[in-house]
Structure 1
Amino acid sequence: MDTVQVILASASPARLGVLRAAGLAPQVHVSEVDEDAVLASLRDAPPAEAVTALARAKAATVAERVAAGAAETFEALVIGCDSMLSIDGELVGKPGTADVALARWTAMAGRTGELVTGHAVLRLSGGAVTKEACRHAGTTVRFGRPRQAELEAYVSSGEPLHVAGGFTLDGLGGWFVDGIDGDHSNVIGISLPLLRALLTEVGVTVTDLWQ
């Protein structure tokens, strides 16, 4: 296909790393969407709907910004994602503080949750969005039982404070995850199988984007 710019509407280094390892070279444009405001408007929505709406809001905000003043020949794909952990029917995002991260881990140790990631792909041609595809992916996560000293050390590292659900699979948190059922890249923050399907829906073959 003709030259097309891939744009990741996310500040997540983990998502960027997944895409780079998979052969893409995206630009990063942080959306700065007010996530709390979007979630407040979807208070009673199921987890899948909420994270997908957040993903689309991020992608749409960046698409609008990028499209402003774009040349007629400009082609781009804007990818938005948002991940949260669903446990006991409650949707939880980034802990933000050490106290919240410690309490969350204490509650979920030895249990299972579903890491749900909303995905949105918007195709830009010139200054307009011509196609879009949005869906979610869910992966079951089986959490281990860290000893108290291990858990305190993990929280003190700062890693769980700023990631969905308060854990990672590809970092220090991987020591405390017993296993997953489903797509591992989704737990990192972006599902490659789902993204490939969404790209197909907007008329793009993923291999044409490989660098």
Structure 2
Amino acid sequence: MGPVPIFVLASASPARLQTLRSAGLDPLVVVSGVDESQVAGVPPAELALALAELKCAAVLDRSEVPDGALVLGCDSVLDLDGVALGKPDDAADAVSRWRAMRGRSGVLRTGHSLRDTSSGRVVSATASTTVRFADVTDAEISAYVATGEPLHVAGAFTVDGLGGAFVTAIEGDFHNVVGVSLPLLRTLVADLGHAWTDLWAASARQG
């Protein structure tokens, strides 16, 4: 077993960063800046994975990424009736989405692309979690959108913030809804020949 790699998160998502930190990692954040509009016309699961792969690839040559790092790109979309819903365009779009989502279920799909820069190997997969939304009122939708929270997240909702009260059930990995599936990531890390628990030690040394 070689040296434990530095873990790099190619995402600006505070929720992803906090999830990884709570799981014992201390990622170096290098924001990809990928134009997400460049991928279109594909099913939600494929879209999430394609964007995750683009985000991972976009930071590989950055000077901030140390040699031998593990680089993770992630992207999430809400699959509602086969339509991929990312971040809403504006408040009106968020209101419209919630009126369509309330009382129904959608599938939160998060693409994960993990590259070992020392070997050049990359492993990718999509995690899917079913989310049941409460039958919220128009007044609740308006108040929620007015907070600004749903404007910055895929599917126009959070499960770990103000939107948590509007989610009645989750089938699958909770962390995937937040933005990164920890069980899937553990598997991807192992596929690249590293031990998940070693990353805890790497986190402690970085701290």
TM-score tier (shorter): over 0.9
Matched AA of 2:131: V
* C-alpha distance in structure 2 between counterparts of 1:66 and 1:6, whole Å: 15
Residue matched to 1:168: 158
Structure-1 residue corresponding to 2:101? 108
Q: Which residue of 2 aligns with 1:63?
A: 60
1:157 paired with 2:147, answer: yes
When the two structures are aligned, how many residues end up with a matched partner?
200
- State the partner residue of 1:48: 45
Q: Distance in 1 between matches of 2:154 and 2:179?
A: 9
The CA deviation string for residues 92-115 of structure 1, in whole angstroms up to 9 with x for no partner, is 100131100000001110000000
CA deviation profile, 1:22-52 (whole Å, cap 9, x unmatched): 0000010000011101x13xx1x22211111
1:23 — aligned with what? 24
What is the identity, as a one-letter code, of the residue corresponding to 2:106? G
Residues 1-211 of structure 1 mapped to structure 2, 5 A cutoff? 1-37=2-38, 39-40=39-40, 43=41, 45-66=42-63, 74-125=67-118, 130-210=120-200, 211=204
Contact 2:132–2:168 (Cα < 8 Å) also in 1: yes
Indicate the percent of aligned positions where both proteins have the same amino acid.
Answer: 53
Retained in 1: the 8 A contact 2:10–2:29? yes
SS at match of 2:150: helix
- Describe the superposition over 1:149-175 as per-residue Cα deviations: whole angstroms up to 9, x where unpaired: 221110000000110000000000001
Question: Retained in 1: the 8 A contact 2:43–2:83?
Answer: no
Runs of 4+ in 1 over 6 A off after TM superposition: none
Structure 2 segments unaligned to the other structure (5+ residues): none
Change (3 A) 1:58 1:29: same
Q: Secondary structure at the match of 1:65?
A: coil
Q: TM-score scaled to structure 2, two decimals?
A: 0.93
Indicate conservation of the 8 Å contact 2:131/2:171, yes or no.
yes
Hey, what's the Cα distance between the residues in 1 that align with 2:89 and 2:83? 17
